[in-house]
Amino acid sequence: MKNNSLMLAFSFLFLLLAACEKDSIKDESSKPLLPLDTNNSWTYERTTTYGTNSYSTEFDICNIADFEGYTSREYVVGEPISLLKNDKDGNCIEYLFNDNELVYSTILFKNGLKKGDKWNYKAAVFTDGDYSKYEIEEREIKCIVTDSLISTPAGDFICVGFEYHPGGFQSNGDPNHTMIQFLSENIGIVKHMHYEHDNGDTWLFAETVLVDYTVNN
């Protein structure tokens, strides 16, 4: 009887530990690819054939029509603006507002993908320098890698990689542009590569890498 009681106790303990382990895995998988917080900041170095420059990105909270999201630029009332918000699965959702009304929502960064998975993203391409006008461009984004080690001045990161082609395709079927982004879970964008194409030729036009960051976990 005593042995049976011990076996039941160990069985219960095993189930409890297994449940805790599953909860931990679930929590781990729901961490966002782009952590949104007003205290987070990223510094990047961008290199092109014209030279190298540095810039920083931070997010502020913005409230439009009772919707609260994050933006990296100053909001001008009545003008179009995209707000970002992470859902419970760690996907980064972009919400486009125009004249204080929601135009659409779309997945900017999708979490938990396998290599080869795709999704459609609606991009607001701003046609004026003051962000007052835009056009909507649909892009197919493809997951090209899920566990790539990317080394940067800010450290080494295990990343998921996404590829997309803004600006459509040429008459020979080649894309006008190819963008490849590497993101690390709960860190954000680690590396961005911009390729140009012309008459069958391809070259790296710009490369952006993370050089410093502050992220509150």
- List, for residues 26-79, the tens digit of each pLDDT value: 333 468 999 999 999 999 999 998 999 999 999 999 999 899 999 998 888 888
- Contacts of 95-102 spanning 24+ positions with Cβ under 8 A: 95/67, 95/69, 96/122, 96/124, 97/64, 97/65, 97/67, 98/134, 100/64, 100/65, 101/65, 102/65, 102/67
Average pLDDT over residues 82-96: 96
- List, for residues 188-217, the tens digit of each pLDDT value: 999 999 999 988 899 999 999 999 999 987
pLDDT band at 134 (very low <50, low <70, confident <90, very high): confident
Quote the CA–CA distance of 187 and 196 in Å, as a whole number: 27
Residue with more model confidence, 15 or 191:
191
List, in order of start, the domains of the chain with CATH numbers: 33-214 (2.40.360)
pLDDT band at 21 (very low <50, low <70, confident <90, very high): very low
- The helix/strand/coil state of 160 is strand
| Token couple for 41 | 């900041």
Pairing of strands 177-184, 67-71: unpaired
**Which of 182, 179, 174 lies closest to 201 in space, CA to CA?**
174
Q: What pLDDT score was predicted for residue 23?
A: 38
User: Are the CB atoms for 162 and 180 separated by under 8 Å?
Assistant: yes
Pairing of strands 177-184, 155-164: antiparallel
User: Are the CB atoms for 208 and 44 separated by under 8 Å?
Assistant: yes
